[in-house]
Every structure is written in C-alpha cells, then in structure tokens.
Structure 1
Amino acid sequence: RLVSTVQATMATVSGIMVVLNCKDVVHDRHWLAVEYIWVLVPYMTYDIYVMYLCHWHKSQERGVAEKKHSLASVWSFLLQERLMVTHHLFILIVLTPITQHFRGELGDFFVGCIFIAELSTPFVSLGKILMQLKMQDTLLHKVNGILVLVTFFLCRILLFPFMYAAYGRQVGIPVYMVPFRIPLHCNIANASLIAPQLYWFRLICRKAARLY
C-alpha cells in the first residue's frame, strides 16, 4: 500500500505539472510526460506480482492447497483478478508504446491528465489499510470513503470529458464534435481506459451505499 501511495503521489504531481505547463493541449511538450512513463512501467509490473502474492497468501489462509508460482495458483489469480491484470497489461503493452513512440511529439497534456487519474489511489490504499486494522467503523474510514468516491469520480470518470472539452476549446469546436474530429484510435483507447473505471466506480458506489 505504501509503494502504491508513493507512486500515485508522484504520478499526480507529475501530471499536474504537465497539465499546467502545456497551454497548447496538442503541441506543447513537457519532459515528465515522457520520462515518468519509465517509473510507471516497472511499478505496473511490480503491482501485478504483488497482487499475485496477496492472492496466493489469501488462498493459503482459506486452506486452498496451491503451490506458490504453480500453474494452478497463477491461473486462479488471473481468473479472480482478470480485470485489474488486463488493465495493467493494456497500459504496459498498448499505452506505453503509444506514449513513447507512436504519438510522436503530440499530446503531452493528455498524458499528464492520465497521470492525474492516480489521485484516488492513496485514499483507496488507506481504506484497505483501515479495514486490515479493523477500523472500518471509525470516522476516519467514513471520511476516507467519501474522498475515494469524490477523487475517483473527478479524476477517473470526469477526466475523460475534461480532456475532450480541452481539445474542443483548443480547436474551437463543441465538445460533442470532438469524438468525430480526433483519430479513431484515440477514441478506442479512451473507451478502453474508462470502461473498467466505470465498473470500479459502480462497485465503490455500492460499497458507499452500505457504509453510509
């Protein structure tokens, strides 16, 4: 949780710096939009491995006799965490080459926006820590739950309309026309990114309804 929080904080700060310094959302450049990817790549790889270890230890606690790093344990992990693993692999295999090579020298602003999506992660991590400490009935846990809900909605859901609106403002067209003006692969990439966020936000809302 600590590593995730540190990485998320670094990503958010980097993203804010990129966004604030890229007045032209298409052509302006900022070095962090390129260099921070090389922090994100090993983190995503590390996070997949840590998720697997957590899954294996929880399986042992439930009495499931699976050998560590066995095909059965890996397959069980992939089935249970398939959405999160797919999300991480999509970033590693698809988005990393796009951000580092195929986009050329365009769109640092939008890369910065994607970094800012990590703002909700420290609150998600704190919530899980509080649950492990049996503090889910405390005021801190409830306040943190509200912060998770708000930051997730702002930085992982509204982020995408914001990016489309920023582009529309840049080129002087209404936001509803933006999807028809940008390349198809940009729309596909955004749809692939927001789809799991909508699913996770639904889960967060259901949990919030039970909590409050």
Structure 2
Amino acid sequence: MWHVVAAGFLFFPGLYHLCKRCACWARPGWPEADYSLISSRIVSSVQGVLAAVSGIIVITSCKDVKYDRHWLATTYLWVLIPYMVYDTYAMFFRHWYKCKDSKVLNGKDHFSSTMNSLLQKDFLMLVHHISLLTVLLPIGLFIRGDIGDFYIGCLLVAELSTPFVSLGKILIQMNLQNSLLHKVNGAFVLVTFFVCRILLFPFMYYAYGKQFGIPLYKVPFNIPLHCNITNAAIMAPQIYWFWLICRKAKKLYSNSNSGKNR
C-alpha cells in the first residue's frame, strides 16, 4: 500500500497549492493567511467527500458487521496517513501566515509566535491528528486483523460533515457570515455533525446487537472493553465540537432574529 501513501503525499499538497494559486488569481491582494485558509478548507472538503463515499460503499457492502471485508476500508486508512500529515502542515502554515500578516509577534520570533498561536487555537485538533497517526491508524491497519471493516466504514462516514464545516469557514472568511447561504449551511453542519459524528456510535452498537440478537443496552457488556474505550475516546471530542457548533449556531440565528425585529 506504499504506492497509495505516496500518491496521497502528492495529491493533497498538490491540490492545496493549486487551490492557493487559483485563489491568488481570483482574489489578488488578499492576505496570505486568507489564501491558505480557503485552500486548506477546499482540500479538507475533497477529503471529506472521498472518505464519506468510501465509508458508505464499505457499510453497504458488509452484511456481516464483524467479518465481512471490503478493500476500501484498509486502503482509505492508508490514504489518511498522508492527509493527516499534510493537514498538520497546512494548519501550521495557516498560523504562520496569520502571524506574518498581522505583524504581531509579541516580542517572539516568527516560529515561536506561530507555535503559540497554533497551540492556543488548534490544540485539540492537533491532538486529534497526532492521536490518529500514532494510535488509531496503527490499530486500524495492523492490530485489528481481518475484522471490523464495517466499523471502519462507519468512522469514514463521519467525514460527511467536513465539507459543510469547511464551507462555513470559507463564507466567514469572505465576509458572508450574514448571508442566507451561511445560515442554510449552518443547519446542514448541525444535522450532518449530529447524525454522522454523534448518532454514529449508537448506530454501530445497534448494528452489532441486531446481527447477534443482543438488545442495544446490553451491547457494551458483550464486546471487548478496549472497543468501548476506543469508541469513548473518539466520541468525546466529537461531543465537545458539537457543543461548540451549537453555541455558534445559537449566536448566528439569535443575531438573525434580532436583526429582523429591528
């Protein structure tokens, strides 16, 4: 699968730089940080669509939730390695350009200011990326053996919310946060994130219980403890992010209603 990894290391950074060049051509005079943000969000959206489509194919192909196999489940895990490395790189450079454009270094050198900004604003996302690369992907590729492709497909479907989250960031960057498109997109963010990242976990337990004739509430007691721990570790940040999204949505729609009542 090393050719898949090599292709990913060419595809994701290549798409990022292509998007950045197109953004420079379409919007000359923008700060470098804006070009970086929009380009990285487009790449994230592409990856989200690819992952979600792959996940849906795997889920619909695996009738036995434990033992059925589909080549896309393992292949896309290899794709995630270069993507996570690239996205960490892109996340760093978003803060690099932001510090450079703002020219506010707080007495520190550029690299130190960038790292400080990254750790303050994207710490949880950085931990998420590192955890995937060092723990979850090795488990999915080397430790789980020949079982669980169905559940890998479920986790890939979680990326369905990414294009809507990315579009929201792009609209804000383009000062369209008060537009109807942004409000409609916000509703899609809420629905897709809740369904694909929160309800996803009860669905996986339900699918297991349905196949083996176990009530949903008993499933956690009939699977290995490490499976429950892994699911809890993956679900915890999703709940936190969903809470943040709900706060932003409340603010967005409250401001919209206040504007209508004036």
Partner Cα separation in structure 1 for residue 164 and residue 121 of structure 2: 23
TM-score, length basis structure 2: 0.77
Q: Shift of residue 17 of structure 1? A: 0.2
Counting only pairs closer than 5 Å after superposition, residues 22-37 of structure 1 correspond to structure 2 as 22-37=62-77
Partner Cα separation in structure 2 for residue 165 and residue 186 of structure 1: 14
* Counterpart for residue 42 of structure 1: 82
TM-score, length basis structure 1: 0.95
Structure 1, unaligned stretches of length 5 or more? none
Q: Given that residues 99 and 113 in structure 2 are in contact (C-alpha distance below 8 angstroms), is that contact kept between their aligned partners in structure 1?
A: no
Counting only pairs closer than 5 Å after superposition, residues 2-151 of structure 1 correspond to structure 2 as 2-65=42-105, 66-68=108-110, 70-71=111-112, 73-151=114-192
Q: Shift of residue 158 of structure 1? A: 0.4
1:68-98 deviations in whole A, cap 9, x for unaligned? 4x35532542343211111111111111111
Larger gyration radius, structure 1 or structure 2: 2
Partner Cα separation in structure 2 for residue 27 and residue 61 of structure 1: 52
Partner Cα separation in structure 1 for residue 122 and residue 67 of structure 2: 37
Equivalent position SS for 1:105: coil
Structure 2, unaligned stretches of length 5 or more? 1-40, 254-262
The answer to which structure, 1 or 2, has the higher relative contact order (CA under 8 A, 6+ apart) is 1
Q: Percent identity?
A: 60
* Counterpart for residue 7 of structure 2: none
Partner Cα separation in structure 1 for residue 117 and residue 104 of structure 2: 11
Partner Cα separation in structure 2 for residue 77 and residue 126 of structure 1: 21
* Counterpart for residue 225 of structure 2: 184
Q: Shift of residue 67 of structure 1? A: 3.9
Q: Shift of residue 64 of structure 1? A: 2.4
Partner Cα separation in structure 1 for residue 118 and residue 225 of structure 2: 33
Query: Which 4+ stretches in 1 moved above 6 angstroms?
Result: none
Partner Cα separation in structure 2 for residue 137 and residue 100 of structure 1: 44
